[in-house]
Amino acid sequence: MARPAMLTGPVSPELRSTLRALKLGQMLHTLPERLTLARQQNMTHADFLELVLTDEHTRREAKSAQLRARTAGLDAAMRLDTWDESAAVRYDRQLWNELTSLRFLDGPHGALILGPVGVGKTHLACTLGHIAIRRRRTVHMASAAKLFKRLKAARLDNTLEYEMRRLAGVELLILDDFALQPLDATETADFYQICVERHQRTSTVVTSNRTPEEWLSMMADPLLAQSAVDRLASTAHELIIEGESYRHRQKPSISHNRGMSIDEDKETSNDHL
């Protein structure tokens, strides 16, 4: 029985030119390695073609996800794989695993991620956004202050209706640092409108260092506040994060004497006294 044909030889200038003409130039970064693998495993042409096209598909999906995440306002560094599992924070891991499955989007339900300053609320919310992006769900993330400022600007250039339609239609809206400061009458009305338009239609994730009950006193109109918060909270999971500030682990350390810490440097100096 004849053995399958083997793929040999370097990447020729003609092949390089052809790949670039077909907008497949990124293949050139991995093609030599794949050719070596094909020779080692005696791959058929069909198997080799499947391998390099799978590489290209994976590469394009990753690039597309990066672009969509950037457009959605997601921090590229706040992903599931960059979350520090050893951080001194406590939260319901079972509920978090449920949220990362994104089944709540099908409800549609929402999520309130609550806790003191610095425990990683924004990171976890952003993580949900990245997971949704990879599953090709539409996402928009913004701090509450910036979002309300943008809506006020939209009133001035008559684009408020467009902005509200866009916010109402996105499958996952992430509102970060809500009620960090009091909401004036316009911001309260906008928050109410967003909650009404999205209620039981799309999913909203809100991070805050205040409870929904505390939100009520932060808004200018008590009636609109009660109506908005009731709609949002009644269909949302509540993830409470407790513990030390997550940011403390990111604090830079100062070192002396060729990379020694201050204490080690002192001990070394004392040894020579």
199 and 182 in one domain?
yes
64 and 87 in one domain?
no
90 and 51 in one domain?
no
CB neighbourhood size of 107 (10 A): 13
User: pTM for this structure?
Assistant: 0.78
CB neighbourhood size of 230 (10 A): 14
97 and 51 in one domain?
no
- Burial classification of residue 111, based on how many CB atoms lie within 10 Å of its CB (0-12 exposed, 13-18 middle, 19 or more buried): buried
User: What pLDDT digit, counting tens, does each position of 147-156 carry?
Assistant: 999 999 999 9
Q: Does residue 64 lie in a domain region?
A: yes
175 and 66 in one domain?
no
Domain of 121 in residue numbering reads as 80-249
195 and 85 in one domain?
yes
116 and 33 in one domain?
no
Read off the CATH number of the domain in which 175 is found.
Answer: 3.40.50.300
51 and 147 in one domain?
no
Q: Does residue 3 lie in a domain region?
A: no
Q: Does residue 4 lie in a domain region?
A: no
User: What pLDDT digit, counting tens, does each position of 179-209 carry?
Assistant: 999 999 999 999 999 999 999 999 999 999 9
